[in-house]
Structure 1
Amino acid sequence: MNSSTPTKSTNLNLLNFKNVSIRTFWITSISFFMCFFAWFGIVPFMPDVVKELGLTPDQKWNSIILAVSGTVFARLLIGKLCDKYGPRICYTWLLVLGAIPVVLCGLVQTPLQFLICRLFIGFIGASFVITQVHTSLMFAPNIVGTANATSAGWGNLGGGANRLGMPLIAAMVVSFGIAEGEAWRYSMVIAGTICFFMGILYYLFTQDTPEGNIKELREAGKMVTTKKDQIGFLKVLKDYRIWILFVVYAASFGIELTVYGTMDDYLQNTFQLERITAGNIVLSFALMNIFARTLGGFFGDKFGKLKGLRGRVLFLSFILTLQGIILVSFSLTTSIVIGFVFLILFSLSVQMAEGATFSVVPFINKKAIGSVSGIVGAGGNVGAFLAAILLKSKSSVAEKAAIAANEGLGEDIINSAQAAASSAAVSQGYLIIGFIVVVTGIVALAIKFSNEDEKIADTELKQSLGKLATANN
């Protein structure tokens, strides 16, 4: 999949809606936002779901794990499909089909049905890959990192905005006379319906590349794909750099998902915060996606201008290592004030690391951007899965031991002991994860580019900067 650099946008002028690249940027970002909004839409209602469906603690944890597991396979598949059919068609079908399990989640009657829906809802998490492929095809090398990071950050914001948005939808539903206990069901149906209509909007108002859609370009002979131009998926898999980036994204986005997914309970158990207060703190960190990811892509582009492709890797290594150090520091904190400061720094660094990752991805293999983006994107969910398993295992063992040790001493004492045990276990888990992230940051330095790749990137960068200068004069 390839498009000529001169036709790609060299700036991110967000108000230039006549520009196909900017228009696509907005639509793909909004679609991504809605996918993440629906993907994690059930989270604010979990207490209601647990009560109504009678979920056990294990089933509750399994629903979290299933939600990120389904995305792994979807991201691996969708990247290859983007290379073959283009991002426009892939996003259309993902939104339309992905809306089905979101709607069905509002209709479930048993724990098994709920778990199955959570698994398939996870498939819409593959929207991230299409978003990154589409922005990579629409923007020139001088701005592609910033464009990728911004679209991803604003889309990822949906995973936090749902904490505020879904209760508002539920309140609206209740105002129409629906019982509060049923509001979560209607909210999921509404979220799924919006995703469905976004799929139609995507099909009508976007195109694959600045020159047009992949299918039409091939039929017109404007996009020739010979065997020499085609990159087999197996060949893509053999590139060691992709697997380093796979681990890097597992250590950034994957850890962000797990930390934010467990932080509410951790803040309550460790610092005795109220549930609403803890939830608002986590929401505020998620809202940092508005600018934090963009900063990662921005500095990736800046280092790329100064030091070439190697510069992008150096910045990625630095910010990821810093993220790990901050998480280690947070895990050892017993003061809410100091902990709050470290949480701000963690949120900033982890989201910058995500943005920096996809300032490198577009340069790994330009003939297989979709496949590369899909593999790296899947790494994020693998990281979330493994981190969730680690925290679940440590917390479960500690809580069961605390309950057994305090059996017969009263419910309040047992609950207090259980909370303290969970806090200590999760703290140890964060510590371990933090050290792993530091090691991953160092390993990222092993990503290398050939002299030829550096020269091609330098030439394309100069061309895009020249076009930008001409447009500004």
Structure 2
Amino acid sequence: MQISKATKIELLNFKCVPMKAFHASWLTFFICFFAWFGLAPLMPEIKNELNLSKAQIANISIAAVSMTVFARLLIGWLCDKIGPRWCYVILLSVGALPVMMIGFVNSYESFLIGRLFIGLIGASFVITQYHTSVMFAPNIVGTANATAAGWGNLGGGVTQVAMPAIFAGVVSLGFTASEAWRIAMIFPGLALLLMAYVYYKYTQDTTEGNVLELRKKNPEFKAKNPDIKGSFWMAFKEYRVWILGLVYGACFGIELTMDGIAAIYFTEEFNTPLMIAGIIAASFGMMNLFARALGGIYSDKISQKFGLKGRVILLSAFLFLEGIGIILFSEMNLLPLAILTLILFALFVKMSNGVTYSIVPFVNKKALGSVAGIVGAGGNIGAVLANSVFTVHSYRYGLFIIGTVVCGISVLALFLKFPNEVSSDLLVNIGEAKENEKVRELTRI
């Protein structure tokens, strides 16, 4: 029985195929983000043990996000080829290994390599966005993408509190601090393996079924893309993909950067204890509970009146406000004001993320996975560039530079044009939503 795309988000519906994919994708991404940045709140302790310099810490932060660039480019194409379900199972199974094995490192060089390979699980974001994009209709896809990604990104906030707590718990059992942070990383690694089983057991690639099984029944089946081999090249040639990649580097790239440095920033700039610094850093990540979803919701709402042009203008506005917020944060010398401005610019970082990926499904529907992969990789390239600033400048001045650059990129976002698709955004939102709702009522499971 063919099932239509979902035209609304029903959070308590755990039976219909789109909602099972929604819940599985955000929860899996949450665990991935938790494991990806599980080391970040423990860096003050690791820094002392391995005697790391500021430049070495910056290099480690770069390593944490640089491998993800290549992984996202590959995983986007792979989603088009074998479907998001198997992509996630493979990524989770492989990614769990470096997360648990990081405990065997004993030098800056080995830690750097371990951090590099942990970055592979950052490609999980592309799978999440791909899966929700093929499960939800255009009238709600922006909200679905933003909510799933936002709730997944919560892992970056929760880990700032949870990992120091796990670390403290292990220490209380009689282990040394050096042993405790290593043992603590076993927990997120096991969680990744658990989610690999959950994703395999409870999801399917599309509303029609799993890509590989459908292809066996019908060799002509090509999922979303009629030309799988050419999907990456189709996306590569699209100038809008590169603008969106740059834009995503200016929002999600900054989110990754702050997830990596927030705890150590507050310990060094304000002399806050590790647990307190972790809680403050968590407030940045916890904004994902609603802020990224708000970006998607606002984008869907404005598109009903102004089409894709409205989405683009909203993205530019949020990016500009983000840049101003970063500049203000860099100038704060009082802890309460620093926390306030951190939360302020976090709001616009997350909303910018949400708006960006509400536009992605409309760029090139024949190469959705590759578009999502390239734009997602842009986020990590942004993080690499932002972290490289800290190798030569202080955190404060580096953040000031970053904020200024983000303001400039907000203007570039206005060059995104959709001359042939503005009307289709409006018509598809209304026409397809109504048609899908009728079909869905007949095929609800």
When the two structures are superposed, what TM-score results if normalisation uses the length of structure 2?
0.92
Give 1:437 shift.
Answer: 0.8
Provide, for residues 414-463 of structure 1, a one-character-per-residue CA deviation record: whole Å limited to 9, x for no partner: xxxxxxxxxxxx32222221121111111111111132x23433332113
Give 1:109 shift.
Answer: 3.0
Provide, for residues 202-258 of structure 1, a one-character-per-residue CA deviation record: whole Å limited to 9, x for no partner: 1111100011011122222386349x9314422321111000000000000111222
Change (3 A) 1:29 1:378: same
Identity of aligned residues (%): 49
Match of 1:111 among 105, 108, 129: 108
What's 1:399 paired with? none
Q: How many Å separate the matches in 1 of 2:437 and 2:19?
A: 19
- The answer (yes or no) to whether the contact 1:217–1:223 under 8 Å persists in 2 is no
Q: How does 1:78-97 map onto structure 2 within 5 Å?
A: 78-97=75-94
What's 2:397 paired with? 428
Change (3 A) 1:93 1:469: closer
Q: How does 1:403-418 map onto structure 2 within 5 Å?
A: none
Change (3 A) 1:44 1:433: closer
Q: How many Å separate the matches in 2 of 1:277 and 1:104?
A: 28
- The answer (yes or no) to whether the contact 2:84–2:130 under 8 Å persists in 1 is yes
Q: How many Å separate the matches in 1 of 2:171 and 2:54?
A: 28
Q: How does 1:331-346 map onto structure 2 within 5 Å?
A: 331-346=330-345
Provide, for residues 241-277 of structure 1, a one-character-per-residue CA deviation record: whole Å limited to 9, x for no partner: 0000000000001112223433344445555555543
* 1:379 equivalenced with 2:388 (yes/no): no
Give 1:472 shift.
Answer: 8.9
What's 1:401 paired with? none
Give 1:336 shift.
Answer: 4.1
Change (3 A) 1:58 1:143: same
- The answer (yes or no) to whether the contact 1:159–1:286 under 8 Å persists in 2 is yes
Q: How many Å separate the matches in 1 of 2:306 and 2:16?
A: 30
What's 1:25 paired with? 22
Q: How many Å separate the matches in 2 of 1:469 and 1:25?
A: 18
Letter paired with 1:444: A
What's 2:425 paired with? 457
* 1:168 equivalenced with 2:136 (yes/no): no
* 1:185 equivalenced with 2:182 (yes/no): yes
Q: How many Å separate the matches in 2 of 1:259 and 1:46?
A: 13
- Contiguous gaps of at least 5 residues in structure 2: none
* 1:154 equivalenced with 2:151 (yes/no): yes
Give 1:115 shift.
Answer: 1.4
Q: How many Å separate the matches in 2 of 1:129 and 1:439?
A: 26
- The answer (yes or no) to whether the contact 1:214–1:223 under 8 Å persists in 2 is no
Change (3 A) 1:171 1:21: same
Rg (Cα) greater in structure: 1
Give 1:173 shift.
Answer: 3.6
The higher-RCO structure (CA 8 Å, 6+ apart) is 2
- The answer (yes or no) to whether the contact 1:66–1:118 under 8 Å persists in 2 is yes
Change (3 A) 1:169 1:333: closer
Higher mean C-alpha displacement, 169-178 vs 24-33: 169-178
Change (3 A) 1:89 1:295: same
Provide, for residues 76-135 of structure 1, a one-character-per-residue CA deviation record: whole Å limited to 9, x for no partner: 111111111111111100000011111110222333222111100001000001100001
Number of matched residues? 437
* 1:466 equivalenced with 2:434 (yes/no): yes
Q: How many Å separate the matches in 2 of 1:310 and 1:58?
A: 42
Letter paired with 1:167: P
Letter paired with 1:162: T
When the two structures are superposed, what TM-score results if normalisation uses the length of structure 1?
0.86
Change (3 A) 1:232 1:11: closer
* 1:77 equivalenced with 2:82 (yes/no): no
